[in-house]
Structure 1
């Protein structure tokens, strides 16, 4: 274990022998640091927080602080961070609330650039990238491999489907379908995240099928229910297209981010 003599490690913290902790870092009493975690100088990890193996937390990040919620009364809610994440300077991540599901959760292999914020009760899946100062309100679900541009802000309870993209400065109050690409204030759906799909090696025929499903789902003809039924019938053998369809069906009470008419 490599711990700088100026670091503060409170009694009760569970720290793997392979962990590195830099100068003036602070580790709270209910923190668990797994194998090969690196806590750089001046970072703070507090609360009931577990940090997965090989995750790096950079200077002045504050991880596991209490939620910014007036109903929070000090309950032992948690923050669970997965493996191999890079958490850069001034990032903030808060524990959950009893009004939510009591837990904030971050997956594996994510990158949180300078100043990104993950609020209480959020779920961030694997391989998500949040650029500088991207901000999540409470209770948000971010699907795998989503890219959130710098300075974007996402309203509480929003869902962003897997492989979607939200452009820099976007203000989002609705849900983005998987593979969707949205921009603006308030954000509108501008099409599909074709660049992201190609970068991740998706086959050309799969991309064409997703595009066809997208055109059908957001056509002007018929009702949304009818379009969903037609798309389900036509694309039932394309798992990626069905990801979009099932996302749209999953929560009928949530408004969708739509193309501009």
Structure 2
């Protein structure tokens, strides 16, 4: 299960069935759960906790400390959940004490080739980050978000659940839940209706979210004015409540 040419520190903790390819290096403070497969030429540094049934492909660097100049070697960590696929050349940095001490990746995510996840970022569940997407530090990505190839996300931005970015999008403000954005700088385009249909959202909920999008983006309202009307609309529509929560949590202002 472990290639003899792999280098594994004696303090690393690997479940008995973990597979490790040749020329991979696993350092101290790394824990890897059952069913995980590590390809060749991977570098894993700790403190890092990796859950069950993950795949990490060749030339990835996972758990390295951050190049952030504020970082002075303090003990921080990376936590990765279960059933994630981390493709070729992905880089993921640990956290900093200036934020949460931890970079966190949830479950069932796909990080395609050459994705970068900066320090203290949080990725939820079922997200797809397409080739060469780059997250600066402190970025939060909600569940089921899809960031197309070469998407760039500024530090401290929040990307809402079920949102979608087009190829080459440069995101400098928060993206509300369910919203599609595109361009450099990013501009809101519409509700991610097709994505919601594929995930089994009810037609009535998608229609309500579409009305909410038009209220936010096409009536010239301030965010506070829009939120007031949205709260009056939200009775009995949980997806709309999730949109409201993503708007209320915005600290950088939303993509317009």
TM-score, length-scaled by structure 1: 0.96
2:91 maps to 1:83 = no
1:34 and 1:221 map into 2 onto residues whose CA distance is: 51
The 3-state SS of whatever aligns with 2:4 is coil
1:209 and 1:175 map into 2 onto residues whose CA distance is: 21
What per-residue deviation string (whole Å, max 9, x for no partner) do you get for residues 7-48 of structure 1? 000120011101000111111111000111110011111121
1:228 and 1:172 map into 2 onto residues whose CA distance is: 22
Contact in 2 for aligned 1:175/1:254 (Cα 8 Å): yes
Contact in 2 for aligned 1:67/1:120 (Cα 8 Å): yes
What per-residue deviation string (whole Å, max 9, x for no partner) do you get for residues 177-217 of structure 1? 10000000000001111121111111111111111121122
Q: Which runs of 5+ in 1 are unaligned?
A: none
C-alpha displacement at 1:220, in angstroms?
2.4
The 3-state SS of whatever aligns with 2:156 is coil
Task: Name the structure 2 match of 1:256.
Answer: 254
Task: Name the structure 2 match of 1:95.
Answer: 94
The alignment of Structure 1 onto Structure 2 pairs a total of residues equal to 256
Task: Name the structure 2 match of 1:141.
Answer: 140
2:203 and 2:177 map into 1 onto residues whose CA distance is: 17
What per-residue deviation string (whole Å, max 9, x for no partner) do you get for residues 87-132 of structure 1? 0000000000011110000000000000001000000000110000
C-alpha displacement at 1:176, in angstroms?
0.5
Please give the residue correspondences for 1:51-70 in structure 2 after superposition, counting only pairs within 5 Å. Answer: 51-70=50-69
CA 1:223–1:95: 2 relative to 1, 3 Å:
closer
Task: Name the structure 1 match of 2:24.
Answer: 25
Structure 1 ranges of 4+ moved more than 6 A: none
C-alpha displacement at 1:221, in angstroms?
5.0
TM-score, length-scaled by structure 2: 0.97
Contact in 2 for aligned 1:176/1:256 (Cα 8 Å): yes
The 3-state SS of whatever aligns with 1:182 is strand
Task: Name the structure 1 match of 2:163.
Answer: 164
Q: Which runs of 5+ in 2 are unaligned?
A: none
The 3-state SS of whatever aligns with 2:239 is helix
CA 1:222–1:149: 2 relative to 1, 3 Å:
closer
C-alpha displacement at 1:250, in angstroms?
2.1
1:202 and 1:54 map into 2 onto residues whose CA distance is: 28
